[in-house]
Amino acid sequence: MGLSSVYIPEEDLANLHKYKYSGIDKSLLSRYVLCHYWNNLVKLFPMWMAPNLITFIGFGFVLLNFATLLYFDPTLDKPSPHWVYYSYSLGLWIYASLDAIDGKQARRTGQSGPLGELFDHGCDSLNTTISLLIASSIFGLGQTWWTVGIVWVGLCNFYLSTMEEYHTGTLYLGYFSGPVEGIVISCVLYALTGYFGPGMWQIDYKTMIPLPSALVDHLPSGALNHFFVVVGLVTMLPNIFNSIHNVFEARRQARLPILPVLVSFLPFVFASTMAYLWLDASTGLLTQHLVAFFAFVTFGFGYTVGRMIVAHVTKASFPIFNMMFIPILVGAVNANLAQRGLPHLFPLAQEHYYVYFCVAYAVVVYLHFAMTVINQICQYLDIWCLTIKHKKVA
């Protein structure tokens, strides 16, 4: 097998022609409100502009948001200038808007295909961790288990929805708790933070409840930021359980065994377990280098999900193991050995250097994966990625 076919075997390339996007969007906000905005927005883009270029431009605003976060609040608990929060809101809104119309542009220009789904989902997978880190900064959660929890649930939701699409062939979006609703709420919260300041999230949430004090006093006290995190986690749970249900139901109707689906959980369960063991055993990773750790997670997760999407569009077997498991396994084992005074590779005091290595490793592996797969698909389908090679015939 040559280097160009390391991710897509030659015998699977023919399945690219069988790919057909299937999605069920039940979001009321999308269907009855934002669809009008998106339908008019896409008309502003010329017919010569490739849909993937629109996606890429939108993702540029995500990277700009992340760079702003690293400059003003790398510890996720420091107040930033008010304009920064407005820029987060605007950047996320622009990204979401362009992400919503890239498919419409693909249909306008006759460029719909598997590369578009891979490119779109790839950017979404990277944006998930970045946007949740920004939310953690907005709320002032800091480098704590609160941040770990909110990022983990978001990644779990994205992983299961992608796994659901692989096994059912359809992408499902719910009525009220889909990505569109989450993005709109996030943009509003970012803008409110810009207006009132980040201190608004430190007040007791009970002061915001319009009920008699006799009833409110019985509730446990807590900061407004923690209250919103708990509410966000609870609202994501139906999406997670619904994805699992849809997969099991599709397998049942097709009279297919359930065991392969259970195996599909292993990559996320393994990575999550190793991440927890590493963070729990380390003396400074959680409290001092969490953003660097999640930079590694961003590209590691993007790679894992990307392999899943490639398998989906090429009808290949589900990818269980991948190269991103190695550094996180080494980190977890080393931290636990060092914590117990057993022989280990490097001391915990120097662990942050290994984390930086993990970030570089993940970026290189992810970029190699993305560029190799894009080039292979483009060569096979005779298309270009960011420009239109074959124009739509009127």
The pLDDT tens digits of the residues spanning 288-323 come to 999 999 999 999 999 999 999 999 999 999 999 999
For domain 26-203+220-381, the CATH superfamily is CDP-alcohol phosphotransferase transmembrane (TM) domain (1.20.120.1760)
Q: How many other CB atoms sit within 10 Å of the CB of residue 135?
A: 26
Give me the pLDDT at residue 172, please. 67
List, for residues 138-162, the tens digit of each pLDDT value.
Answer: 999 999 999 999 999 999 999 999 9
Residue of 153, 158, 151, 149 lying closest to 132 (CA atoms): 151
Residue of 250, 93, 264 lying closest to 171 (CA atoms): 250
List, for residues 332-341, the tens digit of each pLDDT value.
Answer: 999 999 999 9
Helix ranges restricted to H, 201-350: 213-216, 224-253, 259-264, 266-281, 285-288, 290-314, 325-339
**Share of residues in the chain with pLDDT > 90 (%):** 68
Spell out where the chain has E strands. Answer: 23-25, 171-173
Give me the pLDDT at residue 99, please. 93
- Long-range pairs, 175-182, Cβ under 8 A, ≥24: 175/26, 175/27, 175/28, 176/27, 176/28, 176/29, 177/235, 177/236, 177/238, 177/239, 178/25, 178/26, 178/27, 178/30, 178/239, 179/124, 180/27, 180/29, 180/30, 180/34, 180/96, 180/100, 181/27, 181/29
Q: What is the mean pLDDT of residues 23-47?
A: 87
Residue 376 has pLDDT above 60, yes or no: yes
| Higher-confidence position of 233 and 280 | 280
List, for residues 197-225, the tens digit of each pLDDT value.
Answer: 999 999 988 777 776 777 777 677 788 89
Q: Is 82 an active-site residue?
A: no
Q: Which of 17, 36, 82, 121 is catalytic?
A: 121
Q: Most distant CA pair in the chain: distance in Å?
A: 71
CA distance 208 to 205: 5
